[in-house]
A and B are shown apart, each in its own frame.
Chain A
Amino acid sequence: MSQFLVKEGVKNQIRKGEKLVTTHCCYCGMQCGMHIRVNEKTNKVVGVEPRYDWVLTRGKMCPKGVTAYQTVDHPDRIKRPLIKKNGKFVESSWEEALDLIERKFKGLQSNYGKDALSVYGGVSMTNEKCYLVGKYARVGLGTRYLDYNGRYCMSSAAGGFNKTLGMDRGSTLPWTELEHTDCFFMAGSNTAECHPTSIQWFWRAKDKGAKIIVADPRETATARVADVHLDLLPGTDSALANGIMHLLIKHEYVDNEYVQERCNNFAELKEMTAKFTPEYTSKITGIAVEKIVKAAHIFGKSPRSVVMFARGAEQQTAGVDNVSLYTSMALLRGQIGKFASGVATFTGQGNGQGGREHGQKSDLLPGYRKLTDPKAVEYISGVWGINPEDMPKPGVSAYEMFDLMLNKTIRGLHVICSNPVVSSPNINHVYKAMEALDFLVVSDFFLSETAELADVVLPATTWAEDEGTTTNIEGRVIHIRKVVEPLGESKPDWQIMSMIAERMGKGKHFQYNEPREIFDELRLASKGGKADYFGVTYEKIDEQDGVFWPAPAEDHPGSPSVFKEKFATEDGRANLAVCDWKGPAEVKSKDYPLWLTTGRVVFHYLSGNQTRRVGFLMEQCPEPFVEMHPELASQYQVENGEKVKLTTPRGDMIVPVKITKAIRKDVLFVPYHWGKQQAVNQLTSPALDPTSRMPEFKVCAVKLEKLTK
């Protein structure tokens, strides 16, 4: 198979002495297509070339994507296992590191039981690895305590989709259809910064006359060009959605035939939304009545619309409610399952979609099977070759794991592909939990803030040093190619997990020579589940520009659009959400009189462990800042660039001010990509959504103080 895929009529620059390897970006869920330039003589990654013919992104990249290749040969890479001796990391051999891990893991398990160990996974890695994390925890270590950073990312979307539609595929339509859409309703998504390459589709639709409605406390680059910008207060999404539905019903924009045929609970919904008059909604959300009315009319009159939402609406204690309500908006209009219309969430992490389908979650098994379902346990036990009784029971969610570490239920932790001491809420608490551990192993390719706390750091590979598949924002399974050999003694995560499992005496369940074998096992494991990958093969992905799951049979071409005939619920009908508005867990008070919300900037990715090491990105955005409205700045007498202190009941930080009118007057915004003293997550609220266990990153009350000189 050729390493360099290009369609006829597409010209790329190939320099002499170099070759191109076709792959995708390692960062967000867009998974932009790219070719990596490799020097043929030295076999080193030297640059990037746009992949003009990738259907979804057409060669477009954001600054993170353009510079992604620079992390491969980065001087900060960990090349050999590190063991902490007397508080300092010492390079060691794999043999020594594995010996230590084996001794400690076995010791902890024999003294405190199997569940004394835990695994904390991540989804910025391939499906093969994500799948194996689940198997590694449950078979290799035999522990029930397993969860992953997707809990902070996608779990509310998953919960909401499962509740309303019965299946959690991030987008019900392929995004290449978006240009034909008439109206986008985007809630809590800073699309232009978090998924820059998706903008081409929205702008193209706009060129054709599409309307854009954006709900966001900040006037983001998308909100700036929106027809209506609903500048809501953080944490009031469910009120807004109810208010819009109230108007949809009032003005008879409801697709009655569709709702009658395909949805439950319409009467209850009608009753619930009755009180959400524009005036009532406006009072809760802080949006002008005119804007709510205008948005409802535009949305109601548009023949084809897509409702989209992201972390802004999801990272709340009412995250699942918000997702269900927004999804119900699309259902009322009869949009789901039709051309260029539907509902979608913006997947934040590279493999946020695939990573949550294959059993990295505390209560899920591969193929979106439930761990509480005996049939599922039996089937997966069969695939894994274990006794169904040996299958661990469901554990707890990511943030709750830290509580168990503090009370010594969990004594050993293996963190794979994540940096929880930056990305978790209330990280002062998380630091304490990590320090309470008896033994911490971290697999990473840079020394992240979490890795600094570890007893053993295992050198993992970057995305360019291993083959595999990921599932992008649309639910399209795509192919990541191996570009170069691993640097130094680093090894791909699947090898690391297999080696530890071997030491734990479970080697026979982890006999893999290459990722393809893991993928074949994953296909089998997901067969018959909701996220059915059985019909997906590497060859098919290359042939037809990715395969959309579900693909239940080998000759199945995949399903770009879902829910065309029926929904994935038991009765095949969608459940309209009937949820009242519940305020956020923390409300502003006399001591903490302002709202704080967090988010991303375009130059950094998640905890910044990778992007904070790239020169260009750091030049553009070297440190966090707090955005505030000039009116607020004048009340506190602070100037642009001045440093201020932000305090919540959980912690405080000092950040420079950026003044702009493009934010609500009562809201502060701080990006979260930095660790330690610069981490806004010292301040954020750990209140969890009752269903999805997603923390409320997006809303908390905060105090602003001017520093005395």
Chain B
Amino acid sequence: MLNLEKSFYSKTSMYSFITIVVLFFLMWMSTAQFLHIDMALLGYMIGTAVFAIGLCIRMSFWIYRTATNRVAARSVKNLFTKERIKRNAKSLTITLIDNIVLQKFIFKRGLYRGIQHIMISWGCIISFAFTFGLTFGWFRFDLVDPDTYQMVAFNIPLIKMAAHGWIAEIFYNMLNIGAVMVLIGASMALFRRIKDYDVKVTQRFEFDLLPLYILLAVTVTGLALTVSYDFLDGWMHPHISLVHQITVVIMLMYFPFGKLFHVPIRPLATAVPMSYQETLKVDTKSCKSCHQPYSNDDQIADVQAILKAQSFDLQLADGSYLSDYCPSCRRRMRALKQMNMEAPKGNPYGPVNTNNGIHLSGFSKKRSEDFYGIEQDIKKDLGEEKEHEPVSR
């Protein structure tokens, strides 16, 4: 691998090249040496190729980020550790079902948002799967006899179905179903983004709205194709087809570089149950100062390694790191440091001094006691020298 890498400009370009080669090999294989290629889908094919390269580049860049790399590396290592098989299987299943298939956490943010997101995501997944499959000829439908279609995947004949049976209908309309789902979801999202004050606070047009417009353009033109074909006798069909093709290519090219890129990084969420938190909200590492559990040893080790790799110096005088303390103790340390109330000086375990005699009392300014000359008066009054605290307890 090392030698191979040297023949490329960079790792990224190597992975891109491999991806493209694999892609076209699969295509070559499944279309029976390019025999069954559908030339009408050529534009899509090129777009998809660009998409694959883009995705590859982005994924490589992402995975090489210090933080991502560390977290991903630990996950991969854990994945192949025998003792963890049970935990891994459980983590993967839970993440896959809860997080990716059902998207439970989004429903907890709101029913509206849940419906909206599941519509867009599953609509997209269906459409993508179908489009890619057809474009690269990974599967196709061959007419066996006038009444029967056969599905062929990777050049291997699979199920047969009646040309007008319900299974066939579903397959014919798969793209339409996906499109309608995306149309509903994207419209809901757009409505929310226009109406809701709270989302608008940090929303950016190019990041949050543009992808919605692109998705809408794709679905609307796609559905228009069906409408034209089924109801209008193919009126304007070639034009609409062209426009649709353009929008799809734009979307494919946009995908790796915009908001939609969150899809391929989501599987990293398995890292949480797999490496950090076996049971949610149960912590095992305890704070160095208050001894309350607040995290997990592996996670703190990762965080410290990531910070160190990026030259963050968060080490304290006693050799411990700030991340060895729970967030609440860290906040307190910052306040104490600021008020110079740590006692004994610099020792985070020591008892807390709540009055250092400098800040209290008088905030920005303190009029000296001799302004009043009371010290002498008091002494005269008491007839003897007595120590007295400025603030009583």
Contacts and interface: CB of A to CB of B under 8 A. Distances in A.
A301 interface: yes
A251 B197 CA distance: 65
Contacts of A223: 392
Interface in B93-151: none
B362 interface: yes
A282 B372 CA distance: 23
Given A207-B364, A297-B378, A229 B372 contact: no
A566 to B, nearest CB: 32
Interface string B358-393: 001111111100011110011001100010101111
B362 A298 contact: no
A251 B382 contact: no
Interface string B336-368: 000000000000000000000000111111110
Given A226-B391, A227-B390, A231-B392, A293 B365 contact: no
Contacts of A227: 361, 390
B392 A16 contact: no
A114 to B, nearest CB: 55
Residue among B360, B378, B386 having the largest count of chain A Cβ atoms under 10 Å: B378
Contacts of B377: 251, 293, 297
A96 interface: no
Contacts of A294: 374, 378, 388
Contact of A291 (B360, B365, B373, B388): B388
B362 A206 contact: yes
B365 A207 contact: yes
Interface string B233-268: 000000000000000000000000000000000000
Contacts of B374: 294, 297-298, 301
Given A293-B382, A294-B374, A212 B388 contact: no
B152 to A, nearest CB: 56
Contact of B391 (A207, A209, A211, A224): A224
Contact of B366 (A209, A219, A293, A302): A209
B363 A291 contact: no
Contacts of A228: 392
Contact of A229 (B366, B381, B386, B391): B391
Interface of A: 15-16, 203, 206-209, 211-212, 219, 223-231, 251, 278, 288-291, 293-294, 297-298, 301-302, 661-662
Residue among A289, A297, A298, A302 having the largest count of chain B Cβ atoms under 10 Å: A297
B28 to A, nearest CB: 57
Contacts of B363: 203, 206-207
A662 B393 CA distance: 6
A289 B382 contact: yes
Contacts of A251: 377
A354 B366 CA distance: 38
A251 B365 CA distance: 28
A478 to B, nearest CB: 30
A302 to B, nearest CB: 8
Nearest to B374: A297
Given A297-B374, A297-B378, A211 B197 contact: no
A203 B361 CA distance: 10
Nearest to B367: A209
B378 A290 contact: yes
A277 to B, nearest CB: 11
Given A203-B363, A209-B365, A301-B373, 17 more contacts: A206-B361, A208-B365, A209-B362, A209-B367, A211-B367, A211-B372, A223-B392, A225-B361, A225-B391, A227-B390, A228-B392, A288-B388, A291-B392, A294-B388, A297-B374, A297-B377, A301-B374
A465 B363 CA distance: 41
Given A16-B197, A290-B386, A293-B378, A661 B372 contact: no
A229 B197 contact: no
A212 B361 contact: yes
Nearest to A209: B367
Contacts of A229: 391-392
A40 to B, nearest CB: 13
Contacts of B382: 289-290, 293
Contacts, number: 67
Interface of B: 197, 360-367, 371-374, 377-378, 381-382, 386, 388, 390-393
Nearest to B388: A290
B367 A219 contact: no
Contacts of B197: 15-16
A188 to B, nearest CB: 16
Contacts of A278: 381
A219 B378 contact: no
Given A206-B361, A206-B362, A224-B360, A219 B372 contact: no
Contacts of A209: 362, 365-367, 371
A223 to B, nearest CB: 8
Contacts of B386: 290
A230 B388 CA distance: 13
A225 B362 CA distance: 7
A229 B364 CA distance: 21
A225 B360 contact: yes
Contacts of A289: 382
A344 B362 CA distance: 23
B379 to A, nearest CB: 10
A27 B388 CA distance: 40
Nearest to B363: A207
Contacts of B366: 209
A16 B371 CA distance: 55
Residue among B364, B372, B392 having the largest count of chain A Cβ atoms under 10 Å: B392
A208 B377 CA distance: 24
Contacts of A206: 361-363
Nearest to B197: A15
A209 B393 CA distance: 23
B359 to A, nearest CB: 9
Contacts of B364: 207
Contact of B372 (A231, A293, A301): A301
Which 4 A/B pairs are nearest by Cβ-Cβ distance?
A209-B367, A225-B361, A297-B374, A290-B388
A288 B362 CA distance: 23
Nearest to A229: B392
Nearest to A629: B393
A37 to B, nearest CB: 11
Contacts of B392: 219, 223, 228-231, 288, 291
6 contacts: A207-B363, A212-B361, A219-B391, A229-B391, A293-B378, A297-B378
Contacts of A219: 391-393
B17 to A, nearest CB: 51
Nearest to B381: A293
A226 B373 CA distance: 18
A16 B393 CA distance: 52
Residue among A226, A227, A251 having the largest count of chain B Cβ atoms under 10 Å: A227
A251 B361 CA distance: 26
A203 B388 CA distance: 24
Nearest to B360: A225
Contacts of A224: 360-361, 391
B1 to A, nearest CB: 56
A231 B391 CA distance: 10
Contacts of A207: 363-365
A634 to B, nearest CB: 16
Contacts of B361: 206, 212, 224-227
Nearest to B355: A224
A157 B371 CA distance: 34
Contacts of A298: 372, 374
A303 to B, nearest CB: 11
A207 B361 CA distance: 10
Nearest to A663: B393
A206 B360 CA distance: 11
A250 B110 CA distance: 72
A186 to B, nearest CB: 14
A214 to B, nearest CB: 10
A209 B386 CA distance: 25
Contacts of A231: 392
